[in-house]
Amino acid sequence: MASASSGPSAVGVSSVDPGVSSGASSSASGIKRPMAPEVPCSSGMPIKKIGHRSVDSSGETTYKKTTSSALKGAIQLGITHTVGSLSTKPERDVLMQDFYVVESIFFPSEGSNLTPAHHYNDFRFKTYAPVAFRYFRELFGIRPDDYLYSLCSEPLIELCSSGASGSLFYVSSDDEFIIKTVQHKEAEFLQKLLPGYYMNLNQNPRTLLPKFYGLYCVQAGGKNIRIVVMNNLLPRSVKMHIKYDLKGSTYKRRASQKEREKPLPTFKDLDFLQDISDGLFLDADMYNALCKTLQRDCLVLQSFKIMDYSLLMSIHNIDYAQREPLGNEAQHSVDTRRPAPQKALYSTAMESIQGEARRGGTMETDDYMGGIPARNSKGERLLLYIGIIDILQSYRFIKKLEHSWKALVHDGDTVSVHRPGFYAERFQRFMCNTVFKKIPCVHFGRPDVLPQTPPLEKMSEVSTIPDPYLSPVVGETLQMLTTSSTLLEKLEVEDSFTH
């Protein structure tokens, strides 16, 4: 989604899990990587001050000198009030002035006629464009009572993810929503985007762009803490084995040594090129739907003069997970005691790229767990969780200066900061030429009979494959066909972009 600018670790970054060995293990890419689940942040971890985020003497996270517990409480009180008051207003079409409305309510600790008493310091809660965001939530099938239940029925869970900007991240207890603190410029930019965002969602609700459900501000201690509510890209109930933040840039796009020491590092473009040089293989329908979605989303971002965004991709390796010890895997199973939450429409990676499966029925099934089925070159079954993040960066004057300076010391076309049009084209080409590839079309017979390599001209034809993961021999076949199909794939994708 999803998110505003946050550096490489936009959502779902895990903290240290004492139950996981620090040794390396085989990962989704078939290489040696550390393994760790996505877990909540534990207090008392030695975290340095990053931006406005720091840790006080008791070990609790603070943001702009407001403790995390007080901020979580203020957020839940504020959202409860604003959603409740909005329910008294009749539903109507969104008007242009609705995008610029800001509602404000004061929460004294002793309570008032409109607000309950609470144990925190006095604060003011602001809601931006409440009617417009109500429309966005309705578009994604989120009813007001479900929104309130997800965010306010149980304490929010803090994630150990500060990113480069020092943002705070919270996830709702049912895994539906991410709450992220954003900087003043980012919140201001999102407000300006809202009319265009509204038009885009009306035309195309299926998108890999972040899905914004609310923009708020908590005023406490003389400070403004702006927060945005978004879709959660990385469900905590699914164990992620490796994670990448990809921009299509190669200049300094390698995870730092400090990042690599984390239980679940966020790797970058050069790491991907080294680790998964053959790319990730999707069936023809999935590949075409994904690249079409990326192309459409990049056009939207380009029209808003947005650049420096990333594709966040987290990979769950099904085959590896089945080989892991049961005891280790048990802690990642879904909590069956919790009632199943209502899924927001178009919120999973699978739903975001395509609505109906080519094989009948909806694509969203328990087998997929919301992920996009894929294979690596070894033939291992994967689930991909992806989304475009860091979209609240416009190509302002400071970014132009940054690109000009970097271009002096390095090839300007390889740096991440670039003019929006070039950035969008490079991003698409990298994703659809290098990262994602179409599985060569091979009709598999009996699993005990080795498949024959078809003529090269046959491999460009789209065939219907009944199993999204194909057969057990796909790994060997991919190894044989990857070399001969690489040139064909490049020609196909380049031709699609040309037209």
Give the three-class secondary structure for 127: strand
Give the three-class secondary structure for 244: strand
Question: What is the residue type of 40?
Answer: P
Provide the pLDDT for residue 35.
43
According to DSSP, residue 356 is labeled B
Q: What percent of the chain has pLDDT over 70?
A: 65
Provide the pLDDT for residue 48.
62
**244 or 467, which is more confident:** 244
Task: Give 348's contacts (C-beta < 8 A, 6+ positions apart).
Answer: 364, 370, 371
For residue 121, is pLDDT > 70? yes
- List the one residue out of 269, 309, 267 whose CA is nearest residue 424: 309
Provide the pLDDT for residue 47.
52
CA gap 337, 351 in Å, rounded: 26
Q: What percent of the chain has pLDDT over 90?
A: 45
Provide the pLDDT for residue 329.
43
Asked whether 158 and 61 are in contact (CB, 8 A), the reply is yes
**278 or 460, which is more confident:** 278
According to DSSP, residue 337 is labeled T
pLDDT, tens digit, for every residue of 309-326?
999 999 999 998 888 776
Provide the pLDDT for residue 160.
74
Identify the burial level of 121 via C-beta atoms within 10 angstroms of its C-beta, where 0-12 means exposed, 13-18 middle and 19 or more buried: middle
Q: How far is CA 147 from CA 40, 72, 140, 342, 459, in A?
A: 21, 16, 11, 10, 47
CA gap 33, 22 in Å, rounded: 10
Handedness of CA 278, 280, 282, 284 (dihedral sign): negative
Phi first, then psi, for residue 159 (nearest 5°) are -100, 145
Which range has the worst mean pLDDT, 52-61, 109-118, 223-232, 406-415? 406-415
Provide the pLDDT for residue 261.
87
**19 or 330, which is more confident:** 330
Residue 70 host element (H or E): helix 68-86
Tokens of 485: 């199909």
Q: How far is CA 114 from CA 78, 80, 180, in A?
A: 11, 12, 27
Q: Which residues pair with 202 in a beta bridge?
A: none
Distance of CA 314 to the CA centre of its chain: 9
Which range has the worst mean pLDDT, 65-69, 294-298, 340-344? 340-344
Distance of CA 120 to the CA centre of its chain: 32
Provide the pLDDT for residue 216.
98
Map tokens 């410029």 to a residue. Answer: 185
Which range has the worst mean pLDDT, 173-187, 387-401, 430-444, 449-463? 449-463
Asked whether 390 and 6 are in contact (CB, 8 A), the reply is yes
- 123-128 and 212-220 strand pairing: antiparallel
pLDDT, tens digit, for every residue of 231-289?
998 888 888 999 999 998 888 889 989 889 888 899 999 999 999 999 999 999 999 99
Residue 134 host element (H or E): helix 130-139
CA gap 152, 286 in Å, rounded: 36
Handedness of CA 191, 192, 193, 195 (dihedral sign): positive
The sheet carrying 66-67 orders its strands as: 53-55, 61-63, 66-67
- 266-267 and 242-246 strand pairing: parallel
Task: Give 9's contacts (C-beta < 8 A, 6+ positions apart).
Answer: 161, 162, 163, 245, 266
- 280-282 and 436-438 strand pairing: parallel
- List the one residue out of 394, 373, 219 whose CA is nearest residue 304: 394
Task: Give 448's contacts (C-beta < 8 A, 6+ positions apart).
Answer: none
For residue 388, is pLDDT > 50? yes
Provide the pLDDT for residue 223.
93
Asked whether 163 and 211 are in contact (CB, 8 A), the reply is no
Residue 326: CB atoms within 10 Å: 7
Tokens of 358: 């080519």
Report the mean per-residue pLDDT for the chain.
Answer: 75
**DSSP secondary structure, 249-317, as one string:** --TT-S--HHHHTSSS-EE-HHHHHHH-TT-EEE-HHHHHHHHHHHHHHHHHHHHTTB-S-EEEEEEEE
Provide the pLDDT for residue 332.
44
Give the three-class secondary structure for 149: helix
Residue 481 host element (H or E): helix 474-498
pLDDT band of residue 369 (cuts 50, 70, 90) is confident
CA gap 484, 466 in Å, rounded: 24
